[in-house]
Amino acid sequence: MSTENYLQVGDKAPDFSATAVHEQEFKKVNLCDYLGKYLILLFYPLDFTFVCPTEIIAFSDKYDKFSSMNTEILGISVDSEYCHLAWTQLDRDAGGVGDLRYPLVSDLNKQISLSYNILNLEGKALRGLFIIDDCGFIQHSVINNLDVGRSINETIRVLQAVQYVKSNPDEVCPANWQPGDSTIKTNVNLSKEYFRSI
């Protein structure tokens, strides 16, 4: 069990309800509505900045890949829903993100960022990424500082590994595992098969 204000992989993802912008409209988003699907929570510092649009757009461009893996995406920052709306209404070549395939959530009161323990001293969300499984538990998290963008391809790889081991509980995925690669049996004797093959 987590201690207060300290979130770990394996914990139940803190629930929240907030206003989001999607398809040029405001909508209410509840974390619990995503049970039964995997979910990427993509925290980022602020709209109308430099690194943020590169990540937000890249995840949107890969949305079909995530969707094919029973996975949804929520982008979250401490901006208001009105700021999100303006950002999505601005073309990409003018500093906006244009139409996105997933919602941008407003965390204006910063309670979501606090509950996921990624709010910095300036009141911005760090670049936190959480993979939440279909039962609502955190299976992966990575947090970058404000200046370093995240890898969409690595997020997909980790998601594939998380889903694989959930479907194959007697196997684990070694370093740099990709779908189709060998896995390791969680048995002292059977695991030697993998190590003999490398």
Question: What single DSSP character describes residue 186?
Answer: S
Note whether 171 and 194 are within 8 A (CB): no
- Active-site pick, 52, 83, 135, 173: 52
Note whether 49 and 133 are within 8 A (CB): no
Distance CA 80, CA 138 (A): 26
Q: Which of 181, 189, 150 is nearest to 164 (CA)?
A: 181
Domain boundaries, the chain: 17-151
Q: Model pTM?
A: 0.94
pLDDT in tens, 101-119: 999 999 999 999 999 999 9
Question: pLDDT confidence of 128, banded at 50, 70, 90?
Answer: very high
CATH topology of domain 17-151: Glutaredoxin (3.40.30)
Residue 3 has pLDDT above 60, yes or no: no
135 noted as active-site residue: no
In sequence order, the 6+-apart residues with CB closer than 8 A to the CB of 89 are 24, 96
Percent of the chain whose pLDDT exceeds 70: 97
Note whether 114 and 149 are within 8 A (CB): no
